[in-house]
Amino acid sequence: MKKIFTSISTYIKKHPKIDIAILVTGLVIFATIALINAPRASIWFDEAFSTYIAQFSFLDIARYTASDVHPPLYYWALKAWSELFGTTELAYRSLSILFGAAAISTAFVLARKFFGRKVAWLSLLFLVISPMLIRYSDEARMYTMAAFIVMLATYFMVKATETNKTKYWIWYGVMVSLGMWTHYFTAFAWLAHWAWRATQTWRKGNKLKEFWKKFFSKQWIITYSVAVGLFLPWLPFMAFQVGVVQSGFWIGPVGVDTPVNYMTNYFYYLEHNQATSWLAVALIFIFVVTLAAAPKAYKALKSQEKKWFLLVASMAFVPPILLFIMSLPPLRSTFVERYMVPAIVALSIFMALVLLKGLKDWKPFWRAVPVVLIVVMMIFGITNVYKYGNFNKNTNTHILTRQAVQAAQEASPAGTPIVAKSPWVFYEAIPYATDEHPIYFIDETTDYIYGSLDMLKFNDQHKIKDMDAFEKDNPVIWYLDNTQDEDVSPLDDSWVKMKTVGAYDELTKKTSYKATEYRVSGE
């Protein structure tokens, strides 16, 4: 058996292109897992905002997202993508899958460069079956795009550090700016780069002035001048959006459970209170092993590898730590696990590195135990991604808008319109509108107090401006909502209920998303 492994190892060393084959295999597995799941869940509000805004011009996209809380680059990319590949759930979400695969590929290249092929292979395994990466590769949002940009920026920073060539410093600056144009919290990744640079610049006995001069080298200043310069046009809008978030936002406060929740989502895609019994034991075991092995791994590395160890560790831990601190009073909490997808990619490399390099004094069987356990934990996490889909953990609501809309469409003749009771439900429902069953919202009942509603406020498409006239033209309508009531309550007492259909949720055992058919005019 030992001879067989030796022969395989020798063959692999002589054929470096095997790395490409392994990467491609990993990407195929990742894409397959993600693509199977992508069309299963109904589009929920955040995704619905993405898909709705993508229909507008590039200028209007910038205008509308300026009054929301995110920058426009992802929405621009989604617009271009949807014009090429259509407006189905799979089409919208496949862009995130593409960026997820690109982030994995770049992470693989970095891990291979930093620590060799074994660490790269194990990193690839952890990334390919990462529940969090799969979950947010199946969402029409900017999280995997941000992860890819962060990984690519890291690559350019490393090349710039090694070669000191201006072109790499400039490319790094461009990537930093693109990250900010994609998601503001990529700033935490750039701060992780700054933290790592500080570890590489500081030398024992250095005076602060000397350290300061080395840290803010000409190249570093040029890099971030490029980044700031390219981002400058959007800076005033970001300042406004930060003010909006700090004045009141939906995210709950951080607590002692926040770090635990972060890790239970990383391994299981579960909240901390769901990771009980043996799930908790497995998590604690991996935590203890990683904590004990990390110093050993660092000590076992060569001098150059230690430098990269600190970089990966910074990218894995600095962003969530800083976000936690920035979520403490008097500031508003903004800690959400999905905002940390770039850090989750780095964490996968860190875990692979520590387990391979830090457990060398263990016997082969015992070295394999934590690796196999993590694989099992993550596969279980994938089943949870498939199970929960777009389940809203904040409201304990399973988004089943598509199912409710389809139930209404199947239960009525062509020409029966569907009217959403709220703008939030309208956003989730409009992707499923058809020529036979158009979907509308009511202008007079919509309170346009949030920037995310500006697309509805300043456009008349799908808007009912005169309900009396609409009722005369459409004597029978469906009224759609997410409610615990038996029926969707009518807008007017004169409406006569005909029937109610809904989407039963196997998770909550409730029928929250429903549509009630009303006769609103005529006999």
pLDDT digits 0-9 by tens, 89-103: 999 999 999 999 999
Q: How many CB atoms lie within 10 A of CB 465?
A: 10
- Go through the chain and tell me how many residues it has: 523
* pLDDT, average across residues 440-447: 96
**Of the candidates 470, 467, 488, 468, which has an alpha carbon nearest to the alpha carbon of residue 478?**
488
**Structural domain includes residue 139:** no
- Indicate if 455 and 349 belong to the same structural domain: no
Of 341, 361, 388, which residue constitutes the final position of a domain? 388
Of 388, 409, 442, which residue constitutes the final position of a domain? 388
- Indicate if 226 and 356 belong to the same structural domain: yes
Strand order in the sheet with 476-482: 463-464, 439-442, 418-420, 476-482, 510-519, 496-505
**Structural domain includes residue 192:** yes
Give percent of the chain above pLDDT 70: 96
What is the Cα–Cα distance from 405 to 501, expressed in whole angstroms?
Answer: 9
Q: Which two tokens stand for residue 99?
A: 């960026």
* pLDDT, average across residues 101-106: 98
- Indicate if 379 and 499 belong to the same structural domain: no
- Indicate if 467 and 369 belong to the same structural domain: no
Of 360, 388, 416, which residue constitutes the final position of a domain? 388
Q: What is the largest CA-CA distance in the chain?
A: 91
- Indicate if 363 and 427 belong to the same structural domain: no
- Indicate if 328 and 416 belong to the same structural domain: no
- Indicate if 507 and 439 belong to the same structural domain: yes
Amino acid identity of 300? A
206 pLDDT more than 80: no
Task: Using the structure block, give the residue that is written with the tokens 């992802």.
Answer: 74
- Indicate if 384 and 246 belong to the same structural domain: yes
**Structural domain includes residue 70:** no
pLDDT digits 0-9 by tens, 360-370: 999 999 999 99
- Going by their DSSP bridges, the two strands 476-482 and 463-464 should be labelled as unpaired
**Sorting pLDDT into bands at 50, 70 and 90, what band is 7?**
low
Q: Which residues of 210-228 are buried (b: 16+ CB within 10 A; e: fewer)?
A: eeeebeeeebbeebbebbe
- Indicate if 335 and 441 belong to the same structural domain: no
- Indicate if 376 and 411 belong to the same structural domain: no
* pLDDT, average across residues 475-494: 96
E strand or H helix that includes residue 7: helix 2-14
- Indicate if 500 and 430 belong to the same structural domain: yes
Secondary structure (3-state) at 421: coil
**Sorting pLDDT into bands at 50, 70 and 90, what band is 196?**
very high
**Structural domain includes residue 159:** yes
pLDDT digits 0-9 by tens, 209-223: 888 888 999 999 999
Which domain, by its residues, includes 250? 144-388
- Indicate if 411 and 478 belong to the same structural domain: yes
186 pLDDT more than 80: yes
As a whole number, the mean pLDDT across the chain is 94
Higher pLDDT, 522 or 454: 454
* pLDDT, average across residues 47-58: 97
**Structural domain includes residue 51:** no
**Sorting pLDDT into bands at 50, 70 and 90, what band is 311?**
very high
**Structural domain includes residue 107:** no
Backbone φ, ψ for residue 522 (5° rounding): 80, -170
What is the Cα–Cα distance from 519 to 104, expressed in whole angstroms?
Answer: 53
4 pLDDT more than 60: no
pLDDT digits 0-9 by tens, 152-180: 999 999 999 999 999 999 999 999 999 99
**Structural domain includes residue 50:** no
**Structural domain includes residue 106:** no
**Sorting pLDDT into bands at 50, 70 and 90, what band is 243?**
confident
Q: Which two tokens stand for residue 418?
A: 């569907």
Where does residue 236 rank: exposed (0-12), middle (13-18), buried (19+ CB within 10 A)? exposed
What is the Cα–Cα distance from 175 to 154, expressed in whole angstroms?
Answer: 9
305 pLDDT more than 90: yes
Distance spanning both ends of the chain, measured CA to CA: 84
371 pLDDT more than 70: yes
328 pLDDT more than 80: yes
**Of the candidates 311, 281, 306, 286, which has an alpha carbon nearest to the alpha carbon of residue 295?**
306
**Sorting pLDDT into bands at 50, 70 and 90, what band is 207?**
confident
**Of the candidates 63, 98, 67, which has an alpha carbon nearest to the alpha carbon of residue 80?**
98
**Sorting pLDDT into bands at 50, 70 and 90, what band is 291?**
very high
The structural domain count of the chain equals 2
Answer for the pair 400, 505: CB distance below 8 angstroms, yes or no. yes
71 pLDDT more than 80: yes
- Strands (E) in 352-467, as ranges, are 418-420, 439-442, 463-464
**Sorting pLDDT into bands at 50, 70 and 90, what band is 254?**
very high
